[in-house]
Amino acid sequence: MLVWGAALNLGEEGRQAIRGNDLNYYVDKLNEVRARTFELFKTVEDDWLHQQEPFWYGKQANHYFMWFHVFEDEINHRGQIRLIKKKMKTHITP
């Protein structure tokens, strides 16, 4: 979790740790995490999705709920990355 603390906390900590990298850095991180996710899913059975865990401020949630939000965030970030790439292409002059 230490790796992602700054990204989750945002604010000054996030700006110091994750801001200012080139686009490939963020795409590579996204792909790294995606690959680890696929590896995790190979090791668990479907009933794992229904297991409850502590989640946000001492509340309980199952893995299905948690992963739904992970996927939702990834889709959002991929859209942001596509938008940034598109904007970068329009500002490059030959």
pLDDT in tens, 33-60: 889 989 999 999 999 999 999 987 889 9
Average pLDDT over residues 59-74: 87
The domain spans of the chain are: 22-91
Please list, in sequence order, all residues whose beta carbon lies within 8 angstroms of the beta carbon of residue 53, skipping any fewer than 6 positions away. Answer: 60, 61, 62, 63, 66
Q: What is the pLDDT of residue 91?
A: 64
Which residue has tokens 């490939």? 24
**If residue 70 lies in a helix (H) or strand (E), which one and from where to where?**
helix 63-91
Say what the pLDDT of residue 1 is.
44
The token pair at 73 is 């965030």
What's the alpha-carbon Rg for the chain, to the nearest Å? 16
Which range has the top average pLDDT, 1-5, 37-41, 75-79, 88-92? 37-41
User: In the prediction, which pLDDT does 2 show?
Assistant: 54
Is the distance from CB of 68 to CB of 78 less than 8 angstroms? no
Distance of CA 2 to the CA centre of its chain: 14
Q: Residue 61 in contact with residue 53, Cβ under 8 Å?
A: yes
